[in-house]
Amino acid sequence: MRSPLNIARIRAIQDKWGPLFQLVLGLCIMCVVFLAGLIVFMFVEGWSFIDSFYMMVITLSTVGFGEIHPLSDRARLLTAMIIICGVGNFAYIVGSFSRMLVDGHLHKLLWRRKVQRRIDKLDNHYIICGYGRIGCVVVQEILKVSPDVVVIEHAPELIEQLKREGIMHLAGDATDDGLLVAAGIKRAKSIVTALTDEAANVYVTLTARQLNPGISIIARANNASHITRLEFAGANKVVLPHLIGGVRMAHTVLRPTVTDFLDLAIRGNIDLQLEQLLISRNSVFVGKNLMDSNIRKEFDLIIVAIKRESGELVFNPGPREVLCGGDTVITLGRQTDLQRICELL
């Protein structure tokens, strides 16, 4: 008697693979029937392996050839059972394969394997859990900078949307450890958990931190009281979408010009961009202050702030502020000037 756990596991595999599970099951049964026939001819009739193998091939293929050697009555009964089981199982295999073709499961399987191969080649990529209202915006914004984005989503309608948009994705529950590993969590640069379920966000955060201790985790929260819980689980940043939206609306009312300017700078609707630049340890700017670096003079960039490697933030730095390796400089300037300075960082 099978335990309920084994039955549930078999049903889960069957639901996951669909007709492919039935096809594999049919092939396994066919192998069992073939081996049983070999045993009948070899040990019941005393035939050689070659004769038994050949007899099984012509029996299961129903080509109509005669018997190699005369069969006993007992062997004929066993052979009849083998034919019934073999032909019936062959019809089952053909039906399963036809269903795969008609329902498109074979195409989906091949497409999923193709996507998985692309994901396996990624490194320092971004993983987005959930493609709802928040996750969709996150994905579209990241795609403007990098195509290395993998989405994990379980809703069928959103999965179809991801396929239409050509975005790499995996279908399933983001709380599944195996799915996170398949998405390349151990090689990812950052993961954004934008699920609507608060408990699921906590679980994904815990799992991601365990699988990749150095990954950057941005988690969504629906309540301010849950921020501490997500940070304790390992999130680097916790975002409350409704809070950000409310603050943004208030700033639009109180400081409309400033808000419009930031919109233009961030969205890139004008030739002006707010960007963060990491200064490497062998950069020509290391050890120089802002005046001697000539960043403003040669590249026409405004230094808004400097984030030290220790995490300290220096807002509106003065001309005597020294640049160090590992610092992140927040600058404002044209895209062409930003590209030129990146070559020296």
Taking only the tens place, the pLDDT of each residue in 197-247 is: 888 999 999 999 999 999 999 999 988 888 888 988 899 999 998 888 888
From 285, 277, 268, select the one nearest 334 (Cα to Cα): 268
Which of 188, 221, 244 terminates a domain? The answer is: 244
State how far Cα 200 lies from the chain centre.
Answer: 16
CATH of the domain at 38: 1.10.287.70
Picking from 70, 103, 136, the residue at the C-terminal end of a domain is: 103
- pLDDT, residue 1, reads 47
Is residue 109 domain-resident? no
Q: Could you identify the residue written with the tokens 């089981």?
A: 85
Residue ranges making up the domain that contains 89: 4-103
Dump pLDDT digits (tens) for 139-161: 998 998 888 999 999 998 998 89
Amino acid in the structure at residue 340: R
Residue type, 190: S
Q: What is the pLDDT of residue 222?
A: 85
Residues 234 and 130 in one domain: yes
Catalogue the long-range contacts made by 161-167 (C-beta closer than 8 Å, 24 or more residues apart): 161/131, 162/131, 167/139, 167/143
Q: Is 69 left (phi over 0), alpha (psi -120 to 50) or beta?
A: beta
> Domain for residue 11, yes or no?
yes
Residues 53 and 167 in one domain: no
DSSP reduced 3-state for 47: coil
122 or 63, which is more confident? 122
Query: CA 78, CA 2: separation in Å to the nearest integer?
Result: 29
Write out pLDDT tens, residues 73-130: 777 888 788 888 887 887 777 777 767 666 556 666 677 788 888 899 999 999 999 9
CA distance 17 to 112: 12
Residue 64 has pLDDT above 70, yes or no: no
Does residue 201 sit in the same domain as residue 273?
no
- In this structure, the answer to whether residues 137 and 231 fall within a common structural domain is yes
Same domain, 238 and 261: no
Residue 249 in any domain: the answer is no
Give the domain CATH number at 269.
3.30.70.1450
| Cα dihedral 152→157→163→164 (10° resolution) | -140
Residue 117 lies in a domain: no
Q: pLDDT tens for residues 279-308? A: 888 888 888 888 888 888 888 888 889 888
CB atoms within 10 A of CB 280: 13
**Same domain? 74 vs 133:** no
Q: Is residue 113 part of a domain?
A: no
Let me know whether 49 and 90 are in one domain.
Answer: yes
Q: What is the predicted pLDDT for the residue at 17? A: 60
Amino acid 304: pLDDT: 87
116 occurs within a structural domain = no
1-59 pLDDT per residue, tens: 445 545 556 565 555 565 667 777 778 888 888 888 888 888 888 888 888 888 888 88
CATH of the domain at 139: 3.40.50.720
Single pTM value for the model: 0.66
From CA 35, how far away is CA 56, in angstroms rounded? 9
- The Cα–Cα gap between 70 and 102 comes to 44
Q: How many CB atoms lie within 10 A of CB 98?
A: 11
Residues 166, 240 within the same domain: yes
| Domain total in the chain | 3
- Tell me how crowded residue 293 is: count the other CB atoms within 10 A of its CB: 25
223 and 284 together in one domain: no
**Residue 266 clears pLDDT 70, i.e. is over it:** no
Of 183, 213, 244, the one marking the end of a domain is: 244
**197 and 298: one domain?**
no
- Same domain (yes/no): 133, 38: no
